[in-house]
Amino acid sequence: MAEPILVGKNEAQESVRLYPEMANRHGLIAGATGTGKTLSLKRLAEQFSAMGVPVFITDIKGDLSGLSEKGDPHNPKIAARLSELQLNDFTFEPFPLTQWDVFGVEGIPLRTTVSEMGPLLLAELLDLNPTQSGVLTTAFKIADDQGLLLLDLKDLQALLNHVAQENKTYSPTYGNIASVTVNAIQRQLTGLSSALQDNFFGEPSLVLTDLLQTDSSTGKGMIHLLMARQLLLQPRLYALFLLWFLSELFETLPEVGDLEKPKLVVFFDEAHVLFNNMPSVLRDKIKQVTLLIRSKGVGLYFVTQNPQDIDEDVLGQLGNRIQHALRIFTPNDKKALKALAGGFRENPDLDLEALIPMLGVGEAIVSTLDEKGMPAIPVKTRMVPPQSANGPAQNPDAQDQSGLRQKYRQAVDRQSAYEHLQQRVVAAAPPSQSKPSQNTPVRRASKDPGQLLVESAARAIGGQVGRSLIRGILGSLMRRH
């Protein structure tokens, strides 16, 4: 049985703990800028890692890589806090770390394929209207039925061109596909390709089970950082990446029931972006995945300034809460504070409305789930500091301690819808025109395209080699293991 995580101590010097068997009931770390949210995140991440649980964190400010280096025992503020908490056996130590980056600059390139993303999220990413979304969904259906492999955006461009040109062939089965609608989607795809700098969509795509690593020498869970400073500059892309990641976890991992400790813990910083201007259909999916993913042994921890930024139904599922200070400047802030205080179990000895704005740096109101899954009475807590270094790592060589860079660093552009549709054009041309130009070589597939699609998804449909593929809760390819 894993030992409970020491989060901090209350004013009576009693330990405030988080039980590992309740960690997949999700959690919230909230508070204004500069109140200690990042230190609380690091403390939890370190302790999950120490018990052998892998961790995935979105690093918004680029200052979490210090997790890979030993903390400074001579830091006077940390020394004072350790003395206050009477933690005489506290040790400073590093934790195994791997950095990822959608743009491939600050870490291992993180990719997925267009087929794995699915039409629902992609339509939202492209900001399509309902008519355009319908056409995109139809195009995906045609690709699935015909075994056309959609890896990157040029595959999708080629597919859209094809279905528009062959509209008369497809109309009886799939409905009309207007060229003007296809052209509008194409323009959006061009903008997306530019924004992504031709990254993210392609192969090798992320195999999520690669995140479930422990360090071979220490047994600590690997901490994976998604370097998201550049990604957050495009809030829609950031939000939909998070939603894609959640859906992939849900579709990939098997049901495990109640565990002594989670299989994976995920921290989403700036979590409010997930809910800002998100259409109701996707908000509903977030709620659904958050509710169900705990059965896969995954704990989700949302990090944000104000809990009111989180959807109320999702907020109700976050059983472990660390609330740092809020700053109250307006009448709306006062209303939010009242609602926040009312969300905790009542503590007759604490006036939370008065206390929360007055909390110092590194202090929080903490309420975790007890051993029976009931919310504990909230207490004012002085948080235990992290064991690792504050700020970015000084040693850039520590960016990949998982050994995965070799697997993912080089993009692979193999036979897919783009090349397959080119071959169709060549095959349909008159004999005098059928020979491809030397400047535009055509690669030949050695396998049936339907088989290629199943193999590319690598996790798609066990045993099915047919044309019709199964899509999961968010329209991405459903995985079976």
| pLDDT by 10s per residue, the chain, length 481 | 789 999 999 999 999 999 999 999 999 999 999 999 999 999 999 999 999 999 999 999 999 999 999 999 999 999 999 999 999 999 999 999 999 999 999 999 999 999 989 999 999 999 999 999 999 999 999 999 998 989 999 999 999 999 999 999 999 999 989 999 999 999 999 999 888 878 899 999 999 999 999 999 999 999 999 999 999 988 888 988 898 999 899 988 999 988 999 999 999 998 988 888 788 888 888 898 999 999 999 999 999 998 988 998 999 999 999 999 998 888 888 988 998 998 899 999 999 999 999 999 999 999 999 999 999 999 999 999 999 999 999 887 767 889 999 999 999 998 899 999 988 877 777 765 555 544 444 444 444 444 444 444 443 333 333 334 566 666 665 554 4
Compute the distance between CA of residue 291 and CA of residue 146 in angstroms, rounded to an integer. Answer: 35
Helix axis angle, 235-252 to 280-292, nearest 10° = 40
How much is the pLDDT for 236?
86
Report the pLDDT value the prediction gives residue 47, as an integer from 0 to 100: 98
**Per-residue model confidence (pLDDT) at position 435:** 52
Give the pLDDT confidence score for residue 465 in this predicted structure: 31
The tokens for 342 are: 């009312």
**Cα separations (Å) of 368 from 27, 235, 260, 472?**
8, 30, 16, 32
In whole angstroms, how far apart are CA 424 and each of 121, 145, 427, 466? 29, 16, 5, 20
Q: CA separation (Å) from 445 to 414, 423, 469?
A: 9, 10, 20
pLDDT for res 457? 45
If we measure between CA atoms, which residue out of 78, 83, 4, 10 comes closest to residue 44? 4
> What's residue 473's pLDDT?
64
Confidence (pLDDT) at 332:
87
CB atoms within 10 A of CB 446: 8
Task: State the amino acid at position 289 in one-letter form.
Answer: V
Secondary element (H or E) of residue 353: helix 352-355
The whole-number pLDDT of residue 282 equals 84
Separation in Å, CA 365 to CA 86, 211, 214, 258, 345? 20, 32, 32, 27, 11
pLDDT at 456: 46
340 near 307, Cβ under 8 Å?
yes
Token couple for 282: 């996707």
Strand order in the sheet with 298-304: 15-18, 5-9, 379-383, 363-367, 320-323, 27-30, 298-304, 264-268, 55-59, 223-227, 97-101, 108-109
Q: Which two tokens stand for residue 183?
A: 């052209």
- Helix axis angle for 153-165 and 417-428, nearest 10°, is 40
Cβ 409 vs Cβ 108: under 8 Å: yes
The secondary structure element, H or E, covering residue 29 is strand 27-30
372: left (phi over 0), alpha (psi -120 to 50) or beta: alpha
Q: What is the DSSP letter of 409?
A: S
Q: What angle do CA 277, 124, 33 make, to 5 degrees?
A: 40
Look at phi and psi of residue 461 and say left if phi exceeds 0, alpha if psi is from -120 to 50, else beta.
Answer: beta
Tokens matching residue 244: 């894609």
> Looking at residue 283, what is its pLDDT?
85
At a CB cut-off of 8 Å and minimum separation 6, what does 76 contact?
none
β-strands 97-101, 15-18: how paired?
A: unpaired
Pairing of strands 223-227, 108-109: unpaired
CB within 8 A of 348, min separation 6: which ones?
none
Positive or negative torsion for Cα 237, 239, 245, 251: negative
